[in-house]
Every structure is written in structure tokens, then in C-alpha cells.
Amino acid sequence: MFSYLNRGSVFYRNVISLALPILFQNLITTSLGMIDTFMVGSLGEAPLAAVAQANIPVFIIQLVIFGLQSGSSVLISQYWGRGDTDAINRCIGIGFYLAGAISAVFALVMFCFPEQLMRLLTNNEELIPLAAGYARIVGVSYLFNSITGVYTGAHRSMENPQLGLWIYAASMLTNTFLNWVFIFGNLGAPRLEVEGAAIATLTSRIVEFAIMVVYAAKNRRFRLKLSLCLRPDRALVEKFFRFATPVVVNETLWGMGTSMYKVIMGHMADSTHILAARAIAGNVEDISLVAVFAIAGTAAIVVGREIGAGRRATVYEVAAALNTMAFLCGAVIGAVLVVSAHTWLPAVVYPLFHLTPVSASIATLILTFTGALMPLRSFDSCNTVGVLRGGGDSRAAAVIDVSAMWLVAIPLAAIFALVLRWDIVWVYIAITIEQLVKFTLGLTRFRSRAWINDITRAGQ
């Protein structure tokens, strides 16, 4: 029954060699978020909740950029399997144009209308000025981060995930040090608190962008050709939009949907307690997901490479092995998370963030739901982000991912929380239903094998 898992040691060594740098990169990025949360949380629950709300548009920007990365990887991983580096350069160029334009629009809105934007996200008057001051500065950082993200994502698709690991490690160290300087006013700097965290983020994004530029100029494994990046041909632009647009739309709508849960929470009674708890639980959840997302990212690379190299006969079993690995990994992580949420996290971690008893109990509830859903979420992530997209089936992946959220879970969460005024537990019941729907639709699509497409062929 599970014979497809017998793929030999070479296969699993290759998966591990690709997954580990992605895992460590994700861990660095997530740890940075945890460090930010810890430092801002030491200022009190209101600053912590304010930064959580201000990061909603930032989160959407990140998801759009991730969508561009994932959309590009649909093509780049298959072109890499074919050895077509000119086409890869053109794909990167398209990503640069789109990422730069989208992040510029977000940065402009966050800089010029921060208070108006924050009022859309919460009606808590205590949080709005704090969130607006943070948003005005941090939005600019994603002009730099978006370009860096496209470039490192392309290298990940070309089996060089180590680049992102080193760039984001440097970014994390810079951000952490400058947080300490500007939030608390160390080394003679003014004590800027929430705005200091934003300045640290902006500076670290400039540093990672500078490292990327130097690497691109010196790297010999893959030559970045600006003449191709700046003038991609029309045929490839059309192909990029055909296969990448569903991914970008998918990630944007998924990001907006995830943010809608936070908006719903921001309009519930005791929103300060709920948002503070969600900020802590969200960071713990993100750390728990780094291995899952590493497997999903690896699946996209491996599936795309296999199809691009013409090895279609083995793709289904390779993908099945990766999906199974993700499910089992999620089961182990979920069990550990549930146990931790009821043992050492309340005793050790929550006090570090000065959570009140009410916020602490909400955080435990959130993490219990998160852990219980982890096996399904792990399968869904690997199958949608890795297998279906890597196979060129980005439209079906988008429909599965978005429909379960926007047509089922978000309406239910809004009715439970804002109309019926039920407890926060009902928001997470709606999220549970979302994962069940995704699992059912995703497994059905995977078994159909209709997702196996060579999109680099002429006429595709």
C-alpha cells in the first residue's frame, strides 16, 4: 500500500539537502518575528496588539511576494530541469517588475494614510496611533524586501536554497541588534519603542537587499543578465501570467483571508486580549510550521524538476511520498504543540510577554486548535504549494485554497463572532472546517493526476 515510499536513500538525501536550508531560512525569518514580538511585548499588551494589527498589510505584501516567488518557481524549476537559463532570467525580470510595483503601492498607502488604514483593521482607539506610527515606516521596507524575495526564490527553484538562508540570517542579526538599540534607547539612541522596531526592520531590509546585489554581481553558477531581466520577451510574459497569476491571486486572497480572521478578532469584545494572545500563539505556530513549509517548498522544486527533465512516469509516486512525509511530520509537530500548550508554554513563555490570565488562556486555546489541525494543514500545504503548483496546476491549487477559506470559513467566523457574538473558540471551529474542506478537495485533485503538466513545452 505504501510501496511508493520505497524511493531509495538517494531520493531522501536529495530531499533533505534541499529542505534543510529552506527549513533554517524559515526558522530564521520566524525567529525574527518572535524576537520582534518579545521586544515589543515587553512594552505591554497594547503595543504588542498594535504591531500585530499594523503587520496585517505587511503580511499581505509578504504573501503577494511569496505568490510571485511560487508563481515564478512553477516555471523556473521546470526551466532549470531543461537547462534554459535565459528563460529563467526573463522570469526573474518579470518578478522584479511586478514585486516592485506592488510593494511600491502598498508602501505609498501605508506612508500617506496610516491612520485611515489602521481604522479599517480595528476600532480600538488605543491601538490606532501606535499601529499607524509603525506602519508608516515599515511599509517602505518591502520595496527592498520584495526584490530580494524574488531573487532568492529563483535560486531556491534552481536548487540553491542556501542563498536565502545566509541573506536572511544577516537580516535577522541586523534587525535584532537594531531592535535592542532603537526600541529601548541603548547605545545613546533615543527610546523609540514601537517606531524603533519599524526602523530596525527597514534597516535590515536594506542590508539584505545590498547583500543580494553583491551576490548577483559575483555569482558564477547562475549569471543574472540584466538585458534579459529588463526586457523579457512577450511569449514568456504571456506564459508567466498564465501560470503565475493564479498563484499570485491565490496567495493574495489567502493572505487577505488570514488577515480577515484578525480583523474579525479586532472587532470582538476584549479585542486587546485576543490580539495579544494571537500575536504570541501566531509566532509559536509559525515556528511549528517551518518544517512543513520546507517540505512544501522542496516538493515544488522536485516535482517541477522531474517534469521539466521529462521523468513524468515517476512524478505521481514522488509527489505521494512527499505528501505523506508532510502529513507525518505535521502529526508529530501537532502532538508536541498540543502537549506544550498545556504544560511548559503557559509556565515559561507566556510570562515573558507579560500576558494577562485572560490572554494566556486564549493563547492556549488557539495553540490547541493549531496542533490538532497540523497533520491536515501539513498535507494541504505540501499538496497545494508543492505538488499541484510544481506540476503546473496552479489554477486548481488556487480554487482549492481560496474557496474553502472565502466561501466557507470566513463567512462562518464572521457570523459566529460578529453577528451571534460567540466566543473566540467558534472562530477556530470555522478554521477547522476550512482545513477539512481543503483536505478533501486537495486529495481528490491529487488522485486524478490531472495536475501533471509540462508547462515549458512550446504551445503550453
DSSP 8-state class, residue 394? H
pLDDT tens string 81-102 = 888 999 999 999 999 998 899 8
Q: How far is the C-alpha of 409 from the C-alpha of 165, rounded, in Å?
A: 34
Q: Decide if pLDDT at 212 tops 90.
A: yes
Residue 41: pLDDT over 90? no
Give the mean model confidence (pLDDT) for residues 399-405.
Answer: 94
Mean pLDDT of 337-359: 91
Q: Does residue 207 contact residue 171 with C-beta atoms inside 8 Å?
A: yes
Close Cβ partners of 209 (under 8 Å, ≥ 6 residues apart): 144, 145, 147, 148
pTM above 0.85, yes or no: no
Closest by CA to 242, choosing from 435, 71, 41, 8, is 71
Q: Which of 186, 152, 192 is nearest to 168 (CA)?
A: 152
The confidence band for 410, taking pLDDT boundaries of 50, 70 and 90, is: very high
pLDDT recorded at residue 458:
52
pLDDT for residue 1: 64
Predicted confidence band of residue 111 (pLDDT cuts 50, 70, 90): very high
* Residues 295-332 as b or e (16 or more Cβ within 10 Å = b): bbbbbbbbbbbbbbeeeeeebbebbbbbbebbbebbbe
Query: Quick one: pLDDT at residue 311?
Result: 81
- What is the pLDDT confidence band of residue 54, given thresholds at 50, 70 and 90? confident
Q: Helices H, strands E: what count in the chain?
A: 18, 0
Lowest mean pLDDT of 14-23, 234-243, 286-295, 384-393, name the range.
234-243
For residue 104, give the C-alpha cell: 511600491
Rounded to an integer, the average pLDDT of 4-30 is 88
359 has a pLDDT exceeding 60: yes
Q: What is the mean pLDDT of the chain?
A: 89
Please name the helix (run of DSSP H) or strand (run of DSSP E) that holds residue 95, with its range, or none.
Answer: helix 85-112
- The burial of 142, by beta-carbon neighbours within 10 Å (0-12 exposed, 13-18 middle, 19 or more buried), is given as buried
**Confidence (pLDDT) at 338:** 97
Q: What percent of the chain has pLDDT over 90?
A: 53
At 241-279, the pLDDT tens digits run 887 888 888 887 887 888 899 889 988 988 888 988 998
Residues 6+ apart with CB under 8 A from 314: 306
pLDDT in tens, 134-152: 889 988 998 999 999 999 9
Q: How confident is the model at residue 180 (pLDDT cuts 50, 70, 90)?
A: very high
Give the C-alpha separation, 409 to 205, whole Å. Answer: 34
Q: In residues, how long is the chain?
A: 460
**Quick one: DSSP state of residue 288?**
H
- Yes or no: say if 35 and 176 are a contact pair by the CB < 8 Å rule: yes
Whole-number pLDDT of residue 434:
95
- How many C-beta atoms surround the C-beta of residue 227 within 10 A? 8
Q: Please, how many CA atoms are within 13 Å of residue 424, restricted to the half-sphere of its CB?
A: 27
- Name the band, by pLDDT with cuts 50, 70 and 90, for residue 352: confident
- Which has the higher per-residue pLDDT, 237 or 366? 366
What's the CA gap between 51 and 275, in Å, rounded?
10
